[in-house]
Amino acid sequence: MNVDAVILAAGKGERLKPLTNILPKPLLPIVDKPLIKILIENLINSGVKNIYIVISNKRELFEKYLKEYNIEYIIQKEPLGTADAIKCVKEYVSEPFLTLFGDCLYSENDIKGMIRKYKNSSVIGIKYVNDAYKYGVFINGDIVEKPKNIKEGYVLTGLNLFTDEIFNYIERVKKSPRGEYELTDALRMLLKNSKYEVYELKDYWNDIGTFTNYMDTCFYILENMKEEIFGKIEDNVKIKGKVILKEGAEILSNTYIEGIAYIGENSKIGPFSRLRGKVIIGRNCRIGSFVEIKNSIIYDNTNVPHLNYVGDSIIASNCNLGAGTKIANLRLDEKNIRMKIKGEKVDIGRRKFGCVIGFNTKIGINVSINPGKRIGNNCKIGPGVIVYDDVEDNTTIIVKQEYIVKK
């Protein structure tokens, strides 16, 4: 059966700033490749021939990262919602066609299962989760959007297989209170008036829309990678767990690794470094002497070279941490970490979370960063600064020391 696929990738990724100020959310790396690349590979392996990606901007970045694939890009000129995004592909797709969100991880097995479920009517993909209150919940053939009184249940996943009938319902959708045409409203009409099938996703599924979900997805992929050693490991290195060591990478003497570590091409770890928990190090990175990294993600071309602690954090590409920089990941009162999201402090549901540092940012020596803070892209944080609050893109912070000279 010939099936087209539409990946919705026009969202702004507000909750993942500063990372999404530079990279669209679907292009954020999941260990060693962008999320959307994983989706495309899973679609191709499922027999999908024609893939359309709906974007709003930054087409050149999508083309750069996905140049080896034959992709048709559809521009959503205004951010008018998911129903409008699907409406944009009406003249391109043939029925049946898959839709999936570009910021969710879907397995090849579930995509194949969705296609097998097709019997000349739309198929709606659902998943049982423990935090259903965050999503649209599927209850007795209806959809309840983010119900406060429901903790567990079946939620909509964004993976659907539609017939052309969906376009008739999309035409009838009215703008929501937030000024968008919501796919959920079209689905409600479909569920009420048409035949449909339901497919329950069997494999891992996650929406990377928050930093914690993004890290969980990265670590899930990491856990399921096979151990491989293509680089060099010196004498006196202790490994208690699994290591994926890419070509040209080195682990120098007296380094201690416990847990699971991915170390990208041409990166150098040690001597006297410690990696624990789940750690992802990108390409061309330098993790130096007496550095401890725990449950963190470090993008390409970033250096953490001397006497640093990085816990439960995300550090983007082309960054440098000065000697003695420490990232705190636990409040003194041990309450859950709170992060600013759209101007409001929100409980992220975790006791331990460090910080997020954007692209091309330099951190001076002996900088202390408090839990739950974001430091933007292209920033400079001077020596001795204590980061108490979020730092916007393109900001320089210098602490001025007052001192007395006596002779």
Residues with active-site annotation: 306
Nearest 5°: the CA angle 275, 291, 371 is 85
Listed in sequence order, the DSSP H helices in 47-104 are: 59-65, 82-87
One-letter amino acid of 160: N
- Under DSSP, the state recorded for 222 is H
What span, in angstroms and rounded, lies between the C-alpha atoms of 151 and 66? 38
Yes or no: say if 309 and 323 are a contact pair by the CB < 8 Å rule.
no
The helix (run of H) or strand (run of E) holding residue 60 is helix 59-65
- Please provide the DSSP assignment of 227-251 as one string: PEE-SEE-TT-EEEEEEEE-TT-EE
What span, in angstroms and rounded, lies between the C-alpha atoms of 55 and 301? 28
Nearest to 363 by CA among 316, 296, 295: 316
The helix-helix angle for 35-45 and 108-117 (nearest 10°) equals: 50
